[in-house]
């Protein structure tokens, strides 16, 4: 019981529990960059907790001080001095070592969209579909303005004020959010592709896109169909890009 009341033991158990929840309790699994970001926040919160007063901080440091200073803990110090460098060396090796074989399939940064998707219980055809809001030429400006408001409320934190993928949260993600200013992104794509990617997000990527691991959430539960098309119109208008048109067969 005294061991469980120790501030050091509580801190270790809290970190282990948080890691287990983030690693195994989130579906679909969070990318490693997001996992490390969450764990860093939990670690900082744990340090604040154990250092809330001098007695708590002294109690937290007690086992560490005993391990370092107590003559009776010399075997433990020797074991830690061997185990820790070995673990760090093994981790460095696994990150730097060449893989024994090539990946079984190539990764597609812009994977082919499905023929149709389910959106709030309705089937929407993706192949060959155009943005329906562009048919109302008199309201184009209104739709672009509405899309800009939606972007500022929901997307700017990752994709940035300048739509360059450098929002305030962008540096915590790997890969980073899409840079819409890059002519290799939305200028190469049909609006239907963007609709699919916004609706389904990273969890909706097909297997040929792994290990792309996009961290973008699925927006189908937060935005309406019209709002998503409005955001898409804003992206093209704000970047002075034109969406790629579907090829016509004659």
Provide CB contacts within 8 A for 30, sequence distance 6+: 22, 38, 215
Within a domain: 103: no
**Measured distance CA(216)–CA(223) in Å, rounded:** 14
Judge if 41 and 135 occupy the same domain: no
The whole-number pLDDT of residue 106 equals 47
How many residues are recorded in the chain? 250
The whole-number pLDDT of residue 210 equals 61
Judge if 227 and 141 occupy the same domain: yes
Within a domain: 187: yes
Within a domain: 244: no
3-state secondary structure of 118: strand
**CATH, residue 194:** 1.10.760
Judge if 217 and 123 occupy the same domain: yes
Within a domain: 105: no
What's the predicted TM-score (pTM) here?
0.59
> How many domains does the structure of the chain reveal?
2
Bridge partners of 123?
118
Here the tokens at position 74 are: 């010399």
The whole-number pLDDT of residue 1 equals 43
Within a domain: 42: yes
Within a domain: 106: no
Judge if 126 and 214 occupy the same domain: yes
Judge if 123 and 87 occupy the same domain: no
Domain housing 14 = 2-96
108 touches 101 (CB < 8 A)? no
**Measured distance CA(115)–CA(206) in Å, rounded:** 13
The whole-number pLDDT of residue 250 equals 41
- Reading the chain (250 residues) residue by residue, the pLDDT tens digits are 455 578 888 899 999 999 999 888 877 677 777 888 899 999 999 999 888 888 888 888 888 888 888 888 888 889 988 999 999 888 888 877 766 654 444 445 567 788 889 998 889 888 888 899 999 889 999 999 999 999 999 999 999 999 999 999 888 887 788 899 988 889 888 899 999 999 998 887 776 666 556 788 899 999 999 999 999 999 999 999 988 887 654 4
**Measured distance CA(175)–CA(112) in Å, rounded:** 19
Within a domain: 104: no
The whole-number pLDDT of residue 8 equals 87
The whole-number pLDDT of residue 2 equals 56
Within a domain: 170: yes
Judge if 46 and 121 occupy the same domain: no
């Amino acid at each position: 019981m005294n061991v469980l009341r120790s501030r050091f033991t509580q801190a270790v158990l809290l970190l282990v529990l948080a890691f287990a929840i983030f690693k195994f309790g989130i579906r679909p699994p969070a990318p490693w960059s997001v996992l490390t970001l969450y764990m860093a926040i939990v670690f900082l919160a744990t340090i604040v907790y154990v250092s809330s007063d001098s007695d708590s901080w002294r109690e937290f440091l007690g086992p560490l001080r005993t391990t370092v200073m107590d003559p009776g803990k010399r075997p433990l110090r020797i074991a830690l001095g061997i185990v820790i460098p070995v673990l760090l060396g093994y981790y460095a090796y696994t990150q730097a070592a060449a893989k024994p074989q090539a990946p079984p399939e190539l990764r597609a940064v812009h994977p082919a969209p499905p023929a149709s998707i389910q959106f709030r219980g309705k089937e929407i055809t993706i192949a060959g579909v155009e943005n329906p809001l562009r048919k109302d030429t008199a309201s184009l400006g209104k739709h672009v303005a509405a899309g800009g408001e939606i972007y500022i409320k929901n997307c700017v934190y990752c994709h940035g004020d300048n739509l360059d993928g450098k929002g305030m949260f962008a540096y915590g993600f790997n890969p980073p959010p899409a840079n819409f200013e890059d002519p290799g992104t939305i200028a190469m794509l049909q609006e239907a592709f963007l609709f699919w990617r916004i609706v389904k997000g990273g969890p909706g990527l097909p297997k040929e896109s792994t290990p792309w691991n996009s961290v973008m959430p699925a927006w189908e539960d937060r935005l309406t169909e019209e709002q998503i098309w409005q955001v898409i119109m804003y992206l093209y208008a704000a970047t002075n890009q034109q969406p790629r048109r579907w090829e016509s067969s004659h």
